[in-house]
Amino acid sequence: MQATWKKNLILLIGIIAACMCFIPVSSQAHPETVEQVTFIQESATYVCPPCGCSGDEELFSKPGCCVHCGMKLIEAPQGLRSDMMHFFAPLFRNTDTSTLYYSKFLYPAFFGGLILSIFMLLNARGRKSNIYLILLLTVIALYGFKHQLYGVGYELTNNPNLIFLPISFITLIGPLLYFHTQNITLRNFRPKQHYLHFAPAAVFFGLYLLAFLLPTPLKDSLRLSRFEPIFSHAEQFIAIISGLIYLHLSSKLIENHLPKGETESVAYFESKWLRKLVPAFIGFFVIWFTIWLANWQLYEFRVTTITYYPLWLSAAGILYWLGYEIMFRSQEFLYGSTAKSTKSTKSIHTRRLAPQTIANLKVKLLELMKEEKPYLNPGLNLSELSRFLNINPKDLSVVINEGLGRNFYDFINEYRLEEVKAQLVNPENSNLTNEAIAYEAGFNSKSTFNALFKKHVKMTPKDFKRSHALIES
């Protein structure tokens, strides 16, 4: 698995690097203004951050603002730091060809991300993992649009105050990836228990909204002060660090809960999908952090986020890749099934075991269910249960079908129902709700639990507790 991760990560970084090769590295952002930048003073110690103006390579002897673009000058570095500045400058510099990036590559990606989100929302068939993927696509697309709404010659609008438009939710990228992974790996994931993961995004949304609603003069003063770049880059730092932490947690879940074999199962597809998704976003965050760090250490956050070309190219690459995966694997993403899994299900019923083998495995299975209680795990599936017995999942299916006359989920849910019945009448659980007891017994859906309980017990959990109380009295 590690080799696959490294291969995918190297491939992603290679694609981004190839895209970055198209970024102009000419020392003259606007050739037609060469005569304006020929004046260089011998004792100059200040420079304009790389923005593409005719003076961003001119040297100045006094601090202040660039006479060409108005950006605040920064102190010219020496030695290695100077070399690093010259290395990173072309990655930020705005040129005439920047329009091509946006009109031909970036804008279609951002629009496509929103359209794909709507398409998935209409066709998700209630799959929770898709909801997190939809939100992830939306967050990336909206953040891209937020930084294309002002400040450049090819912006969608010319209103600079839209810099505070509250559509930035980048601190959600990490949690959404983690929720998407948990929903696939744990099966019993309940987001209601994890609202605190959204706290940073809620805080930044509130601050952006407050700034956006301020009177225009106050908004202008914030925009032109150091507040905006520091605030914006603080949000980016939290998004990057938290994103990498959540990706680490996601990788642990993938390692511990998803199969590496069974290539004909839906679980294997989900495992393969997550093992591509996580390293792809690791590469995305590494690129983002590199650009962020360069802007901090070399340019004092004077470079605007809109000219983070490697970031926007990698974000567009992520959106295009997700679009490809979703559209060309719609059967798996939208409906949770594969053509192979259908064939696999059919082949299970044609598998044969000797009667004595079925009888022996049946005894082992019933002992396992009594002693180990694996049914308490809401994510229990046929593959995981078979590993307890060290047998093939197809053989276990035959044992349950022919030896016990049930299918897998009916067999497991019978044990869960018995566990619920025992815990409902346990005085130690008087402070727990019926749903809480059901979740502890392995159910991951309130509606499923209630329906099964009423079907098999012929009464509701509440009536069951009441009837038991009457008997005791």
The pLDDT of residue 345 is above 80: no
For 10-60, write each residue's pLDDT tens digit. Answer: 444 454 444 444 433 333 333 333 333 333 344 547 777 776 666 666 777
pLDDT 10s digits, 263-318:
444 556 677 788 899 999 999 999 999 999 988 888 888 887 877 888 988 999 99
Range 344-472 has CATH code 1.10.10.60: yes
User: Which whole number is the average pLDDT over 340-364?
Assistant: 65
Give the pLDDT confidence of 389-414 residue by residue, as tens digits: 888 888 888 899 888 888 888 899 99
Euclidean distance between CA atoms 92 and 237, whole angstroms: 18
DSSP 3-state of 115 = helix
Q: 157-168: string of b/e by CB count within 10 Å (b at 16+)?
A: eeeebbbbbbbb
Whole-angstrom Cα Rg for the chain: 29
Q: What would the mean pLDDT of 80-87 be, rounded to a whole number?
A: 77
Contact of 420 with 462, CB cutoff 8 Å: no
CA distance linking residue 414 with residue 392, whole number of Å: 23
Helix (H) or strand (E) holding 46: strand 46-47
pLDDT tens-digit readout, 175-230: 999 988 888 777 556 666 677 888 999 999 999 999 889 888 888 888 777 788 88
Better pLDDT: 266 or 122 = 122
The pLDDT of residue 175:
94
Contacts of 311 by beta carbon, 8 Å cutoff, 6+ apart: 287, 288, 291, 305
DSSP 3-state assignment of 359?
A: helix
Q: Which 3 state secondary structure label does DSSP give 250?
A: helix
| Three-state DSSP state, 74 | strand
Residue 106 pLDDT exceeds 90: no
Model-level pTM? Answer: 0.61
Coil, strand or helix: which one is 470?
helix
Per-residue pLDDT reduced to its tens digit, 428-461: 888 888 889 999 989 888 888 888 888 888 899 8
Residue 118: half-sphere exposure toward Cβ, Cα within 13 Å: 6
Q: How would DSSP label each residue in 25-38?
A: --S-S-GGGGGGS-
The confidence band for 169, taking pLDDT boundaries of 50, 70 and 90, is very high
Q: Indicate the angle between helix axes 227-257 and 173-185, nearest 10 degrees.
A: 10
Lowest mean pLDDT among 17-26, 250-259, 328-337: 17-26
Please, which residues have CB within 8 angstroms of residue 291's CB and are 6 or more apart in sequence? 91, 308, 310, 311
Higher pLDDT: 341 or 176? It is 176
How many other CB atoms sit within 10 Å of the CB of residue 29? 23
**In the chain, pLDDT over 70 holds for what percent of residues?**
71
At residue 22, the pLDDT reads 40
- Kindly report the average pLDDT of the chain as a whole number: 76
Q: CA-CA distance, 402 to 109, in Å (whole number)?
A: 52
